[in-house]
Chain A
Amino acid sequence: MTAPAAPPRTPPAQRDWSWRSRHVRGLLYQLIALVIIGLAIWFLAHNTLTNMRVRGIQSGFDFLSSPAGFDIGERLVPYESNDPYWMAFLIGILNTLRVAIVGIVLTTILGTLLGIGRFSHNALVRGLCYAYVELFRNIPVLLQLLMWYLFLIQALPMAGEPKSIFGLFYLGAGGLAYPVPVWGLGQALAAGGALVGVGLAFLWARKARLHFEQTGQVRPVLLPSLGLVIGCALAGWLAGGAPTAWNVPKPGGFSMEGGSSLTPEFIAVLLGLTLYTASYVAEVVRAGIASVPRGQGEAASALGLSKGQQMRLVSLPQALRVIIPPMTNQFLNLTKNSSLAVAIGYPDVISISNTAINQTGRAVECISIIMLVYLTTSLGTSALMNWYNKRAAIKER
């Protein structure tokens, strides 16, 4: 706010600021807006706290360390009913993340295939993809979740009497039980080997790219990489004594013994969210591919690139720039829609906090936890996608 250097009409320069100054007024308006927002928040918080105190409602987050006292049917980490509330919330958060992450991966794959299918030369494939998109994106997602869930539990045999598939898998209203390898030294070495394989594959891909840049000769990347990963994993497994023990599920009384299982709630949530969101992703992918001018492909052909190279090296990198930002929205939608899972009994973070609210009466606290969880997840997803977007965006030099 220094005085103007060469005033054309020489205004009084003795004052640094004035009410007439646009800059000062702008600052003041912003300050007032900030104060009003601050007052509004303070008023809401203060009023809530006062009312709660007046009516004898206890508040605070201290309940998080007291024992939860309720069981959770589905959990990724060990949990006992006398573990504290924060553990119960953690189980719920992990369940939410589990369905969100698996859902995002499956949605991306399915949506991309559908989006590419819209450009197929085969009229049937094109038509089916179109019909799919129109059908699934026009039915509310909650309805779809309920439909899949009711369909699953109505169609499958009663809990307690599941249908056996080759004596290895068991399918019933209780869920899908499947065999898992018994974890031991061999499996650990195999997993370690696979990791080493991934590292080696990265090195190979880098070398192949350098080779291409120097000589112009293309070296295969995909098959050798796959071979490296599988080979290293196999070597680890053999070094660990080639264990072949599997933990096969057995029906025992009312539940399955051994093995691992997916519940119908998880399957229904995953199915519902994936199929719904994939219809949006398909449209995003379609728009992205359509945005690359036809001439680009023709130019690539003229340079002698194959069809696959055209897609991989010319079309896709340009389409990605258009695809990624709206894709972030779809991923966020999927994550937030997973909160509807509570309607069909999937123990996500909402379900857990409903129980916690009822048992402790700490509604404000539990709702804040939910908000924080979704905010963190969404901002995290956004940050990740923005980082990826920056990588894919046009680099202006």
Chain B
Amino acid sequence: MKKSLSRFALSTLLAAGALTALPAHAGKTLDAIKQRGQLICGVNTGLAGFSAADSQGNWSGLDVDVCKAIAAAILGDANKVKWVPLNAQQRFTALQSGEIDILSRNTTWTLTRDASLGLNFVGVTYYDGQGFMVPAKLKLKSAKQLKGATVCVQSGTTTEKNLTDFSRANKLDMKPVVFEKQEASTSAYFSGRCVAFTTDASGLASIRNKEAKDPKEHVILPDLISKEPLGPAVRRGDDEFFAIAKWVQNALIEAEDYGITQANVETMMKSDNPAIGRILGSTEDTGKLLGLDKSWAANAIKAVGNYGEIFERNVGPKSALGLPRGMNNLWSSGGLMYAPPIR
């Protein structure tokens, strides 16, 4: 009796000690992706133009294409992605806990998030700003006319704070009504609970297009009250995967710079331009430095096209959202999209 009891106590202690000693996170992200043959990508539960699933469960959008490009660069196949739809509150926890490899969910890059949430922002895939949508019949010209107005907001975003700052700075005394789910906040606005609805301007365009009975009955006010650089983020502590995500995104922008498109990528392989040769891996193997194939960038471009093509297809003037290219144009065309060179 005595012996078995003490043995039991000892084994309990040992088990507890062994469990606690387990490392927090084992294995590198890249190895894990290659091993399971799949990239796990966290996306928005549904924001047309950025990430939305159709009736067959096929995801499309700008944020979705970023993940597809990374999957193509690593695995050579843009379809080897597992999509994890996340709401605003779940997204960081999902990334921190290792449930997803990369978060590509119209997420604003801020100091607090970058410095204290245990993640690294890869770059900016869409330069945005927060705006207001109001019913057209109010005939408002500026957000500064919204004195005392109730404003519907979704929680778990930077939006609430921007709204408060704007309201304070302009002494507007706006009253936020905060909802947990985006669907609840938009349906409250369209039912007339709030005078205005606020989120990123791209989101407003998406919601107006998809959820309003008649998109013409609602206008997006010209004021942008904040800077919202949206981009993907990866978990901290894995610099190799961080570099891969960063450089796939850079390659998409570089490709547009050098005129490499989804259609001409094969012919461009034979180009005499040494810069193009380096991007596509036809002359120099840049992939080796990242731990990838030498055709990593070519695969990504073949899968989703260059940044300009991704933009046009999902959110550009000819798409359903009809957003102007504006700040998201290439640096050479007066925009902010500028990628460091691939060499």
Q: A-side interface residues toward B, CB under 8 Å?
A: 19-20, 28, 32, 35-36, 39, 43, 46-47, 50-52, 54-58, 69-73, 81, 150, 153-154, 156-160, 173-174, 252-255, 263-265, 342-345, 347, 351, 354-355, 357-361, 363
Contact = CB atoms under 8 A, between A and B. Distances in A.
Contacts of B24: 47, 50-51, 54-55
A159 B192 CA distance: 6
Given A72-B176, A159-B150, A254-B147, 14 more contacts: A32-B12, A56-B236, A69-B165, A70-B160, A70-B176, A154-B191, A253-B148, A255-B150, A342-B155, A342-B180, A345-B185, A351-B180, A359-B112, A360-B112
A159 B194 contact: yes
Interface string B158-169: 101101110110
Contact of B155 (A52, A158, A354): A354
Interface in B170-226: 173-181, 184-185, 187-188, 191-195
Contact of A354 (B180, B188, B195): B180
A55 B160 contact: no
Interface in B103-144: 112-113, 116-118, 135, 138
A72 B173 CA distance: 11
Contact of A57 (B89, B118, B155): B118
Interface stretch (B1-9, B34-42, B307-315, B325-333): B1-9
B195 A344 contact: no
B89 A55 contact: no
A255 B89 contact: no
22 contacts: A20-B1, A35-B9, A36-B12, A56-B237, A70-B176, A153-B188, A159-B150, A159-B193, A159-B195, A160-B149, A173-B193, A253-B149, A254-B148, A254-B150, A255-B149, A264-B193, A342-B155, A345-B152, A345-B177, A351-B178, A354-B180, A363-B93
B148 A71 contact: no
A56 B164 CA distance: 29
B178 A19 contact: no
Contact of B89 (A71, A72, A156, A354): A354
B235 interface: yes
Contacts of B146: 254
A358 B194 contact: no
Nearest to B163: A71
